[in-house]
Amino acid sequence: MYSLKGKVAIVTGGGRDIGQQASLKLAAAGAKVCVNYFGSKEAGDETLRLIKEAGGEAIGVQGDMTKAEDVAKLIEATVTAFGQEIHIVVNVAGGILGRKLLGDLDEEFWDAVMAVNLKSVYMVTRAALPHIPSGGAIVNFASQAARDGGGFGALAYATAKGGVLTLTRGLAKELGPKGIRVNCISPGMINTTFHNTFTKPEVRANVAAATPLRREGEAREVGDLVLFLASDASSFINGESVEINGGTYFA
Protein backbone atom coordinates (compact mmCIF):
# COMPACT_ATOMS: atom_id res chain seq x y z
CA MET A 1 0.00 0.00 0.00
CA TYR A 2 3.03 2.26 0.34
CA SER A 3 4.31 1.62 -3.17
CA LEU A 4 4.56 4.77 -5.25
CA LYS A 5 6.08 3.10 -8.28
CA GLY A 6 5.14 5.01 -11.43
CA LYS A 7 4.13 8.11 -9.47
CA VAL A 8 5.60 11.61 -9.83
CA ALA A 9 5.93 13.91 -6.83
CA ILE A 10 6.86 17.52 -6.20
CA VAL A 11 8.21 18.54 -2.80
CA THR A 12 8.62 22.26 -2.19
CA GLY A 13 11.18 23.17 0.44
CA GLY A 14 12.74 19.77 -0.20
CA GLY A 15 16.33 20.72 0.49
CA ARG A 16 16.49 20.20 4.22
CA ASP A 17 14.89 18.85 7.37
CA ILE A 18 11.24 17.80 6.89
CA GLY A 19 11.26 18.55 3.16
CA GLN A 20 14.36 16.47 2.66
CA GLN A 21 12.94 13.55 4.62
CA ALA A 22 9.67 13.75 2.68
CA SER A 23 11.62 13.64 -0.58
CA LEU A 24 13.68 10.66 0.58
CA LYS A 25 10.66 8.69 1.79
CA LEU A 26 8.68 9.27 -1.41
CA ALA A 27 11.66 8.32 -3.57
CA ALA A 28 12.33 5.19 -1.51
CA ALA A 29 8.72 4.12 -2.13
CA GLY A 30 9.30 4.41 -5.88
CA ALA A 31 8.18 7.93 -6.79
CA LYS A 32 10.12 10.14 -9.16
CA VAL A 33 10.65 13.31 -7.17
CA CYS A 34 11.13 16.94 -8.16
CA VAL A 35 12.90 18.57 -5.22
CA ASN A 36 12.35 22.31 -4.97
CA TYR A 37 14.71 24.41 -2.88
CA PHE A 38 15.32 28.14 -2.58
CA GLY A 39 17.99 29.43 -0.24
CA SER A 40 20.65 26.73 -0.48
CA LYS A 41 21.68 24.92 -3.63
CA GLU A 42 24.03 22.84 -1.50
CA ALA A 43 21.11 21.54 0.56
CA GLY A 44 19.10 20.76 -2.56
CA ASP A 45 22.04 18.93 -4.10
CA GLU A 46 22.49 16.92 -0.91
CA THR A 47 18.89 15.73 -1.05
CA LEU A 48 19.37 14.69 -4.68
CA ARG A 49 22.59 12.88 -3.82
CA LEU A 50 20.91 10.89 -1.06
CA ILE A 51 18.01 9.91 -3.30
CA LYS A 52 20.25 8.82 -6.15
CA GLU A 53 22.65 6.93 -3.87
CA ALA A 54 19.67 4.92 -2.66
CA GLY A 55 18.68 4.10 -6.25
CA GLY A 56 15.91 6.68 -6.61
CA GLU A 57 15.16 9.13 -9.39
CA ALA A 58 14.96 12.86 -8.80
CA ILE A 59 15.64 16.30 -10.19
CA GLY A 60 16.22 19.58 -8.38
CA VAL A 61 14.68 22.96 -9.21
CA GLN A 62 15.67 26.13 -7.40
CA GLY A 63 12.94 28.72 -7.04
CA ASP A 64 10.89 31.02 -4.84
CA MET A 65 7.41 29.54 -4.52
CA THR A 66 5.91 32.97 -3.88
CA LYS A 67 6.85 34.03 -7.44
CA ALA A 68 4.64 32.97 -10.36
CA GLU A 69 7.54 32.63 -12.78
CA ASP A 70 9.45 30.32 -10.44
CA VAL A 71 6.36 28.20 -9.79
CA ALA A 72 5.81 27.86 -13.54
CA LYS A 73 9.45 26.83 -13.96
CA LEU A 74 8.99 24.14 -11.30
CA ILE A 75 5.95 22.61 -13.00
CA GLU A 76 7.55 22.78 -16.45
CA ALA A 77 10.74 21.09 -15.24
CA THR A 78 8.73 18.31 -13.61
CA VAL A 79 6.60 17.46 -16.64
CA THR A 80 9.60 17.74 -18.97
CA ALA A 81 11.56 15.27 -16.87
CA PHE A 82 8.83 12.84 -15.82
CA GLY A 83 5.78 13.26 -18.08
CA GLN A 84 2.53 15.19 -17.98
CA GLU A 85 1.04 13.71 -14.81
CA ILE A 86 1.97 14.91 -11.31
CA HIS A 87 0.45 12.53 -8.78
CA ILE A 88 1.70 14.01 -5.50
CA VAL A 89 2.29 17.59 -4.38
CA VAL A 90 3.85 18.21 -0.97
CA ASN A 91 3.88 21.87 0.07
CA VAL A 92 6.57 22.09 2.74
CA ALA A 93 8.08 25.48 1.86
CA GLY A 94 7.54 28.01 4.64
CA GLY A 95 9.06 29.55 7.71
CA ILE A 96 8.62 31.93 10.61
CA LEU A 97 11.21 34.42 9.23
CA GLY A 98 11.59 35.94 12.70
CA ARG A 99 9.73 36.53 15.96
CA LYS A 100 7.89 39.86 16.25
CA LEU A 101 5.21 41.09 18.61
CA LEU A 102 2.32 43.08 17.16
CA GLY A 103 3.86 46.45 17.93
CA ASP A 104 6.93 45.61 15.87
CA LEU A 105 5.09 43.63 13.21
CA ASP A 106 5.28 45.90 10.18
CA GLU A 107 3.29 45.39 7.00
CA GLU A 108 6.27 44.23 4.96
CA PHE A 109 7.12 41.47 7.43
CA TRP A 110 3.46 40.40 7.70
CA ASP A 111 3.16 40.15 3.91
CA ALA A 112 6.39 38.17 3.63
CA VAL A 113 5.27 35.60 6.23
CA MET A 114 1.87 35.24 4.57
CA ALA A 115 3.48 34.81 1.17
CA VAL A 116 5.99 32.11 2.05
CA ASN A 117 3.60 30.07 4.20
CA LEU A 118 0.17 30.53 2.60
CA LYS A 119 0.45 32.12 -0.83
CA SER A 120 3.06 29.55 -1.85
CA VAL A 121 0.64 26.68 -1.15
CA TYR A 122 -2.08 28.32 -3.24
CA MET A 123 0.28 29.11 -6.11
CA VAL A 124 1.96 25.70 -6.37
CA THR A 125 -1.31 23.80 -6.02
CA ARG A 126 -3.05 25.95 -8.62
CA ALA A 127 -0.19 25.56 -11.10
CA ALA A 128 0.08 21.80 -10.59
CA LEU A 129 -3.65 21.07 -10.69
CA PRO A 130 -4.00 20.68 -14.49
CA HIS A 131 -1.48 17.84 -14.24
CA ILE A 132 -2.93 16.03 -11.19
CA PRO A 133 -5.05 13.01 -12.17
CA SER A 134 -7.79 11.27 -10.23
CA GLY A 135 -6.12 9.40 -7.39
CA GLY A 136 -3.68 12.25 -6.79
CA ALA A 137 -2.76 13.55 -3.35
CA ILE A 138 -1.82 16.99 -2.05
CA VAL A 139 -0.12 17.25 1.35
CA ASN A 140 0.15 20.71 2.87
CA PHE A 141 2.01 21.82 5.98
CA ALA A 142 0.28 23.76 8.73
CA SER A 143 1.58 23.74 12.31
CA GLN A 144 0.51 23.24 15.90
CA ALA A 145 0.78 27.04 15.97
CA ALA A 146 -2.34 27.16 13.77
CA ARG A 147 -4.26 25.51 16.61
CA ASP A 148 -2.81 27.21 19.69
CA GLY A 149 -1.71 30.61 18.36
CA GLY A 150 1.99 29.79 18.34
CA GLY A 151 4.82 30.73 20.64
CA PHE A 152 6.11 34.13 21.65
CA GLY A 153 6.41 36.40 18.61
CA ALA A 154 4.83 33.92 16.18
CA LEU A 155 1.57 35.78 15.53
CA ALA A 156 2.05 36.19 11.77
CA TYR A 157 3.31 32.62 11.35
CA ALA A 158 0.45 31.10 13.35
CA THR A 159 -2.08 33.14 11.37
CA ALA A 160 -0.61 32.02 8.05
CA LYS A 161 -0.64 28.39 9.12
CA GLY A 162 -4.26 28.78 10.20
CA GLY A 163 -4.90 29.87 6.63
CA VAL A 164 -3.27 26.67 5.39
CA LEU A 165 -5.73 24.66 7.50
CA THR A 166 -8.67 26.48 5.93
CA LEU A 167 -7.23 26.29 2.42
CA THR A 168 -6.75 22.54 2.86
CA ARG A 169 -10.36 21.99 3.89
CA GLY A 170 -11.71 24.12 1.08
CA LEU A 171 -9.56 22.34 -1.49
CA ALA A 172 -10.61 18.95 -0.11
CA LYS A 173 -14.24 19.83 -0.87
CA GLU A 174 -13.46 21.30 -4.28
CA LEU A 175 -11.06 18.62 -5.51
CA GLY A 176 -12.55 15.56 -3.83
CA PRO A 177 -15.12 15.05 -6.63
CA LYS A 178 -12.17 14.93 -9.05
CA GLY A 179 -10.65 12.08 -7.02
CA ILE A 180 -7.89 14.27 -5.59
CA ARG A 181 -7.32 14.16 -1.83
CA VAL A 182 -6.00 17.18 0.09
CA ASN A 183 -4.70 16.88 3.64
CA CYS A 184 -2.27 18.73 5.85
CA ILE A 185 0.24 17.92 8.55
CA SER A 186 0.54 20.04 11.69
CA PRO A 187 3.87 19.42 13.42
CA GLY A 188 4.66 20.41 16.97
CA MET A 189 8.24 20.67 18.22
CA ILE A 190 10.37 18.87 15.64
CA ASN A 191 14.19 18.78 15.77
CA THR A 192 15.00 20.96 12.75
CA THR A 193 17.09 23.97 11.80
CA PHE A 194 13.84 25.99 12.10
CA HIS A 195 13.98 25.63 15.88
CA ASN A 196 17.78 25.77 15.96
CA THR A 197 17.45 29.27 14.51
CA PHE A 198 14.27 30.68 16.03
CA THR A 199 13.63 28.88 19.34
CA LYS A 200 15.74 29.25 22.48
CA PRO A 201 17.32 26.02 23.77
CA GLU A 202 15.65 26.40 27.15
CA VAL A 203 12.24 26.72 25.51
CA ARG A 204 12.86 23.58 23.48
CA ALA A 205 13.97 21.71 26.61
CA ASN A 206 10.85 22.81 28.49
CA VAL A 207 8.55 21.76 25.64
CA ALA A 208 10.25 18.37 25.36
CA ALA A 209 9.96 17.82 29.12
CA ALA A 210 6.25 18.67 29.04
CA THR A 211 5.56 16.38 26.08
CA PRO A 212 4.07 13.01 27.10
CA LEU A 213 6.74 11.22 25.05
CA ARG A 214 9.40 13.39 26.73
CA ARG A 215 11.22 14.37 23.54
CA GLU A 216 11.09 16.38 20.35
CA GLY A 217 9.99 14.76 17.12
CA GLU A 218 12.38 13.96 14.29
CA ALA A 219 12.07 15.04 10.67
CA ARG A 220 12.14 11.41 9.53
CA GLU A 221 8.97 10.75 11.54
CA VAL A 222 7.20 13.58 9.76
CA GLY A 223 8.50 12.18 6.46
CA ASP A 224 6.82 8.87 7.27
CA LEU A 225 3.52 10.70 7.74
CA VAL A 226 3.95 12.44 4.38
CA LEU A 227 4.42 9.04 2.76
CA PHE A 228 1.25 7.70 4.40
CA LEU A 229 -0.88 10.65 3.27
CA ALA A 230 0.57 10.53 -0.26
CA SER A 231 -0.09 6.81 -0.65
CA ASP A 232 -3.16 4.67 -1.16
CA ALA A 233 -2.88 3.63 2.50
CA SER A 234 -4.80 6.84 3.28
CA SER A 235 -7.22 6.62 0.37
CA PHE A 236 -10.30 7.70 2.39
CA ILE A 237 -8.63 10.47 4.37
CA ASN A 238 -9.46 13.88 2.93
CA GLY A 239 -9.55 17.41 4.36
CA GLU A 240 -7.79 16.29 7.52
CA SER A 241 -5.11 17.95 9.62
CA VAL A 242 -2.93 15.27 11.17
CA GLU A 243 -1.23 16.46 14.35
CA ILE A 244 2.27 15.12 15.00
CA ASN A 245 3.47 16.48 18.32
CA GLY A 246 4.04 13.61 20.75
CA GLY A 247 0.83 14.40 22.62
CA THR A 248 1.35 18.08 23.50
CA TYR A 249 -1.86 19.12 21.78
CA PHE A 250 -5.05 17.28 20.90
CA ALA A 251 -7.13 18.69 18.03
Catalytic residues: 157
Q: Are 142 and 168 in contact (CB under 8 A)?
A: yes
Q: Hey, which residues does 217 pair with through a beta bridge? A: 190
Quote the distance between the C-alpha of residue 219 and its chain's center: 11
Residue 160 to residue 142: CA distance in whole angstroms: 8
Residue 215 to residue 199: CA distance in whole angstroms: 15
Q: Hey, which residues does 60 pair with through a beta bridge? A: 35
**Interacting residues of 3 by C-beta distance below 8 A, sequence separation 6+:** 29, 30, 231
